[in-house]
Structure 1
Amino acid sequence: MPVFVPSEIFQDNSLPPLRIGDVISLVPVFITERDPRAPGAFTAPVTVRPRWGHAPQPHPYNDATLLWHFEVLGDGWTAYWSHDRPVSGRIHLTGRLIPDFVRAVAGHPGVMTGKIRRLQLVEEQFRATDAGPRPITGTAQLRDLGPSPDRYWPNWRRIYTNDDPVQETGVLVDLDLDAVPDDVTDFEAGAVTVTGTDVWVMDRANPLLLHVDTSHSPPQVVEYLLPLSIEPPPDKWSRRVHADRDGCWITSPEEIVRCARLGPTELSVHRVTTEGGDYTIDYEGRLFVCTYPHHSVHDHPQYGFVHIDPDQYPVRELIDGDLIPVLDDSITAIVQSHRRRADRVETADGTKWIADATLTAELPEGTVHTIDLDPRTPGQVQWIREDPSQDPAFMDLPPESAPHPRENPQAGRILRARRR
């Protein structure tokens, strides 16, 4: 599969130095080409699928033109694509794949992984203009590179002038998508919490919770498959965990879930509320939900950049399933002083537990131990679900006025309305 890597990608360090035989990952973007002779250009039958809920954006070079966002599904590959009209279904497209300016992680949605089979330098002829040198269509030349190009090559920091008739514009990479071994990773530690000898570890994106009992040698590990959503893979974590003597809390911006131990390998799971916050803090057995107390700008996929007002009550405490505003500034200050990262926690004896795909424990003297999370004992989960139609608020309504359940992709049937 040909992928054209323009010079800007090397300048941005979005890709490591390229070497034949290396396996690399990238987020491909399909760029429509009018010139089928462009390096890396190909014509292929593809399935175009709109990116639902994403509003069009102005064209970067023409504010009068709008671009809608799509996913393009080819033979063994998927890429993002922008077009000036809504379209969907099976069509033929001519263009080329280029990497996006983002960090790519193998196995994540929208990421292409392959082994480099060939590297070719792309050189093009340029003509002088008042705005600087401009490429001449159809003049691209390809030159094979060695298997291990010098790490300082190509010199993309060089500034070309009108006196340079030929310029290096990128590298054409031939990726073998079939020469990549299967990903065998089934658990990536993303968040961790500790109480006594109980360590709870949450997967970075999947609804997998591990209980690690460190009172045994080696530690005993129980895996719980939770009835929660699979989240888009983040760089670090999508949920937080907070331990207490009876189990743990799992929190996210969308919900708070209680996991209570029923036995050595049994857990009850109960979604307490479908309201969350930007982050959560546990302090002396109490759980606090916090939002950022300042104005912010959010890049919303449907509305573009929108202004977000700060929450009237930036700190709330979870009490009997309700989020109660904290009005005492001294309590707020104490709670905020105990804020920590979700992927690391320090115990009273000075041991630092870190969840970064693996789980490690750094002892006070500096020794670091990686905790073996295998073998695992499958745990049993008891899912406690409420029927929202039985809420007392609906009891006095006539049957024709009673609410009908509506499906929510994030929380299933809505258990509790968001409070404001």
Structure 2
Amino acid sequence: MTRQRTLVVQIESVAIEDGQIVPPSLGDVIEFPLRFVEQPATDADTVTIRALLEASALDPIFQYTGHDLPRRWEWNGLLRGDGWTASWRGFRPLTGQVELTGRFYGVMGYDTPTRVRGRVTRVQLVSARYRRPPDSHGWSIVPGHRTFRDIETAPGFFGNDMFMRDDLFELDRGVGVLVDLDLDDVPPVPARPTIVPGDVSASGEMLWVLDSQLPIAVSIDSDHVAHEHVLPGQIGHSRHLWATPTGCWVGGNDGLYRCVIGEAPRKLSDHPVHAGAVMGEHFLACPSGTMWSLHTQDHEPIAVEVPDGYVASIAVDGESFVVLAEQRHTDAASTYRLIRVNVSGDVTVGPELPTMQGFPRPFLAGSPLRVFRRSVAVVVLPDLTYGTVEKLGGDVFRGGQVGAFVWIIGHPPDGTSRTGWWPLPGPVEYERTRQFWLFTLLDAGTLEPVKSTPMFATDPAVTIDHRGTVWVIGSGVQSIPSESMQWPDDLDVVALLDESRRQ
């Protein structure tokens, strides 16, 4: 008889509050992203594991390690254990079979492809002690005061209200949950659907949907008739999709593809393409490096030479593309500049822009065109410099351009913060048992909120069709309802594709 495989994992509060991981309950089968963090063997609750470490091909990062501590090089990779995979970061280069001491963490999945799946056999609330001096508003964790309490279900929210009280100088607050997982007592993994949507784009009457890992695109016409387009590409790559009136462009790690209705998809280039934008039949492809390309359906691509940099955002402005390019420096700082490309391939490079502090990465949208970052929007002038600064009603985490709107993603308000109920018009009752994100359309000119929709996606793909329907990749392919604060409507692409295959 083989031993029972178990794993003890600490799930961070932010991963639950942001909706990445459903609050664990006793008896539930859950699956989530996993990370292993090395800790000294003298620390409490550590385990020693043996696993296969596949080192990442990415360069190490010169990482900050703490206040007043020197920076160190940090390597990363993928750990493969018995029934689990976990991301790894460490300050010494390793590969092959390794023995490591530390803790498993359930984390946000945006930067790790790892997963663990098991049945929850125990849930403990993990609390830490916080303290602040009487003359300060800054709280810090008191070492050596982690406590554990058995519960049946993890909370959906861990609460920050007590941090706002001026009469408290020490408190215990939940920082996550510790779960015991049985990796064997789980049902078989369900068969993968015929398509798992990873991107969506619309043009005219055609909606295009791209699989998240398979080289498959599906076109769906106004009668909801689907047609499958199989790319001559590799399995396992995520790709992006840009629809035009006659077809679509598809780009990813393995190159650039073109799909046209009634023709077999073809591969045009081996150069990776992760960023781009369309204007009518014109497609600007922005691979890494100093050479972009401008494509149309019936002509050879035009080479577009630009300064080296990372493409942070692209928008269409009048009769040209505008790209916000990031220049990353060895001291971990970043600078930005704007680049304009017209449909003839002519390039105008703007000056280095003043630094916009904070997280997340800025994006382009609006009419007039603006650069958005957190709670600020800055107008882009014709000479690609900054103009008027506009203050938004609250913080924005993600966003972009879609038709005559600016779409944004943020936390749903509850009326207690400094931003009140923005972007909602006032108090709204909604279900809070599971954290969702709030998707909002702003008027592209005035930046006034038009309507908001709850969804379980932090960075959705967004497009708009000829009828003005906004489509997103949330929990599958979904359309935004006309009435505010209604859940998105689902489009069953799997059923449409299966019907197409049967015929």
TM bucket by the smaller chain? 0.5 to 0.7
CA pair 309-42 structure 1, distance change in 2 beyond 3 A: same
Answer yes or no: is the 8 Å Cα contact 1:344–1:352 preserved in 2: yes
Describe the superposition over 1:255-312 as per-residue Cα deviations: whole angstroms up to 9, x where unpaired: 54322344xxx524141684858431232x4445587547654669x9955546544x
Mapped to 1, the partners of 2:242 and 2:258 lie a distance apart of 10
Mapped to 2, the partners of 1:273 and 1:170 lie a distance apart of 44
CA pair 325-31 structure 1, distance change in 2 beyond 3 A: same
Answer yes or no: is the 8 Å Cα contact 2:231–2:257 preserved in 1: no
Partner of 2:24: 18
CA pair 287-95 structure 1, distance change in 2 beyond 3 A: closer
Describe the superposition over 1:226-259 as per-residue Cα deviations: whole angstroms up to 9, x where unpaired: 12355765xxxx41232434x4333569854322
* Structure with more relative contact order (C-alpha pairs < 8 Å, separation 6 or more): 1
CA pair 36-181 structure 1, distance change in 2 beyond 3 A: farther
Q: Quote the RMSD (CA, aligned, Å).
A: 4.8
Describe the superposition over 1:77-101 as per-residue Cα deviations: whole angstroms up to 9, x where unpaired: 122222222121112222211233x
1:333-412 paired onto structure 2 within 5 Å: 340=402, 343-347=462-466, 349-350=467-468, 354-356=472-474, 358-359=476-477, 370-371=491-492, 372-377=495-500
Q: Extract unaligned runs of 5+ from structure 1.
A: 318-322, 328-332, 380-420
Mapped to 2, the partners of 1:135 and 1:10 lie a distance apart of 24
Answer yes or no: is the 8 Å Cα contact 1:50–1:88 preserved in 2: yes
Structure 1 residue 55, shift from structure 2 partner: 1.7
Does residue 175 of structure 1 match 2:196? no
Mapped to 1, the partners of 2:204 and 2:498 lie a distance apart of 22
CA pair 324-175 structure 1, distance change in 2 beyond 3 A: same
Mapped to 2, the partners of 1:6 and 1:275 lie a distance apart of 34
CA pair 13-57 structure 1, distance change in 2 beyond 3 A: farther
Give the TM-score of the pair, scaled to structure 1: 0.62
Three-state SS of the structure 2 residue aligned to 1:63 is: coil
Structure 1 residue 181, shift from structure 2 partner: 4.5
Answer yes or no: is the 8 Å Cα contact 1:188–1:356 preserved in 2: no
CA pair 47-59 structure 1, distance change in 2 beyond 3 A: farther
1:222-261 paired onto structure 2 within 5 Å: 222-229=227-234, 238-245=239-246, 247-251=247-251, 256-261=256-261
Does residue 117 of structure 1 match 2:238? no
Does residue 191 of structure 1 match 2:217? no
1:146-295 paired onto structure 2 within 5 Å: 147-148=152-153, 158=162, 170-178=176-184, 179=186, 181-183=188-190, 184-189=192-197, 190-196=199-205, 198-215=206-223, 219-229=224-234, 238-245=239-246, 247-251=247-251, 256-262=256-262, 267-271=264-268, 274=271, 278-283=275-280, 285-288=281-284, 292=314, 293=322
Partner of 2:76: 69
Three-state SS of the structure 2 residue aligned to 1:239 is: strand
Mapped to 2, the partners of 1:223 and 1:192 lie a distance apart of 15
Give the TM-score of the pair, scaled to structure 2: 0.54
Answer yes or no: is the 8 Å Cα contact 1:240–1:252 preserved in 2: no
**How many residues end up aligned between the 2 structures?**
342
Partner of 1:144: 150
CA pair 156-77 structure 1, distance change in 2 beyond 3 A: farther
Partner of 1:90: 97
Q: Extract unaligned runs of 5+ from structure 2.
A: 1-6, 134-138, 287-310, 315-321, 349-365, 371-400, 404-460
